[in-house]
Structure 1
């Protein structure tokens, strides 16, 4: 017969360690977070009305009010042209809402009316100004016709005709109308080749060049102010020819004719 200390058959033993209890004052693990309350129907209506009112006010401020209207136009970057001429050619809609000004239309209008302009950037300067940043074309050569001079830029574009030749810009003399190069390359390509030669000229030489005489694509001659001539040849190897020419003009100051058409074998004569 079992004594009092004998364990009852089938009874579970209690754990040896202390029993854990859930932390007091905190949320039990695994419990869902409390859901945020969605605004009711009335709240949604109020928010929608406020959004519509703010949007309408913004549209009115930009297009209907007198706060943000075009009052002045400013032009910068001019050299030959005047800022007043650029502003006048822009024909901006004064007193119109600044937000409604078509900047692309203003740009296209300026480029069409002022061929001297190479590029135009039109920006709104809030609250009342339209800014025109222009870049003018730079003449590389001149073409003389009927006593006036057509300016030609680095892209071969004839952009303006002036009564007086600008200083430091060589005159282009197109000769040899029956040259095979005219039929093969065309006048426009010969013009671009001449412009490329003018751009390759070193600064120390360019200021003394009075004319470029073009007989054919491979026969371009420079005429200097002191009567000397330089046989340049074609437009190819322009950088090498420029270096050789600058060195020859410095070394052979008495030479009347310099030939750099083949830069690896230059020649001088008439000294």
Structure 2
């Protein structure tokens, strides 16, 4: 059975012949050259590990500023509070998607939000707020409603020029809310100028309350363009009701 002989580094004993000492020196240099890449790799690993520890575990690159853009009805301080990022949190450890989710869930006026890290110490939060298309009366004031049916902001008084919408439970996916918003979006400026409220009792029982005690029975959210044309061409006496639910047969009483 054959055996493989391994080389090992030895020091030439004192008094050894020059050829032996030369051989030993060459062997040492060979071993050092072979070990050098490993020594360099170990050094780099130690350096990178130390740098990673500084970055991930210390506030050397920690959050010092949270900049908020796009806040109008919202107070930037409320956006920072909803983000829930502590001062000094290492920037690489900030989960931007989690921050975005917390802001959206905590603040109804936020339609979209984008979070970015700006090294070395800044976290940037850009929000896009919802746009109100109607005010819904509630106890003690009103709630602003956007085009998606989200009741997102309570207010004491309805903003001037914003249509009034009366619906029992405004929310996204609610059939009555969606029908009411479809009708509202179809109304022309002349009609909106006369309207004091759009009332939706169900998806098929929608009516407009106009100035002078006038009422327009709208029906459901279909044939809206035809209903608007009829309403714009018809004069309604004060206190009277106009039924445009079937725009081909208009009734007034």
Q: TM-score if structure 1 supplies the norm length? A: 0.64
Cα distance in 1 for residues equivalent to 2:131 and 2:194: 18
Task: Map 1:158-237 onto structure 2 (within 5 A).
Answer: 158-174=151-167, 188-203=174-189, 205-206=191-192, 208-225=194-211, 228-237=214-223
Cα RMSD of the aligned pairs, angstroms, is 3.2
Structure 2: segments with no counterpart, 5+ residues: 1-32
Q: Once the 2 structures are TM-superposed, how far is the Cα of residue 94 of structure 1 from its aligned partner?
A: 0.7
Deviation at 1:174, TM superposition (A): 4.7
How many angstroms apart in 2 are the aligned matches of 1:64 and 1:148? 49
- What are the superposed Cα offsets for residues 199-227 of structure 1, whole Å, 9 maximum, x if unpaired? 33345544553211224422312223465
- Is 1:71 the counterpart of 2:57? The answer is no
Superposed displacement of residue 74, structure 1: 1.0
- Secondary structure at the counterpart of residue 184 of structure 2: helix
Q: Give unpaired runs (5+ residues) of structure 1.
A: 1-39, 176-186
Kindly provide the CA deviation profile for residues 126-185 of structure 1, in whole angstroms up to 9, marking residues without a partner as x. Answer: 22111111122233333323232133322223333222112233223359xxxxxxxxxx
- For the residues of structure 2 that align with 1:104 and 1:54, how far apart are their CA atoms? 30
CA contact (8 A) 2:65 2:121 kept: yes
Quick one: distance in 1 between partners of 2:193 and 2:34? Answer: 81
CA–CA separation in structure 2 for the residues paired with 1:78 and 1:110: 12
Q: Determine if contact 2:242/2:250 at 8 Å carries over to the other structure.
A: yes
Kept in 2, the 8 Å contact 1:204–1:246? The answer is no
Equivalenced residue count is: 214
1:83 aligns with 2:76: yes
What pairs with 1:55-134 in structure 2 (closer than 5 Å)? 55-64=48-57, 66-134=59-127
Q: What CA distance in whole angstroms lies between the structure 2 residues aligned with 1:215 and 1:88?
A: 39
Summarize the Cα distance change of 1:220–1:65 in structure 2 as closer, same or farther, 3 Å threshold.
Answer: same
* d(CA) in 2 for partners of 1:131, 1:232: 47
8 Å CA contact 1:116–1:159 kept in 2: the answer is: yes
- Counterpart residue number, 1:11: none
Larger radius of gyration: 1
Q: Quick one: distance in 2 between partners of 1:190 and 1:66?
A: 52
Report if aligned partners of 1:74, 1:130 keep a CA contact under 8 Å in 2: yes
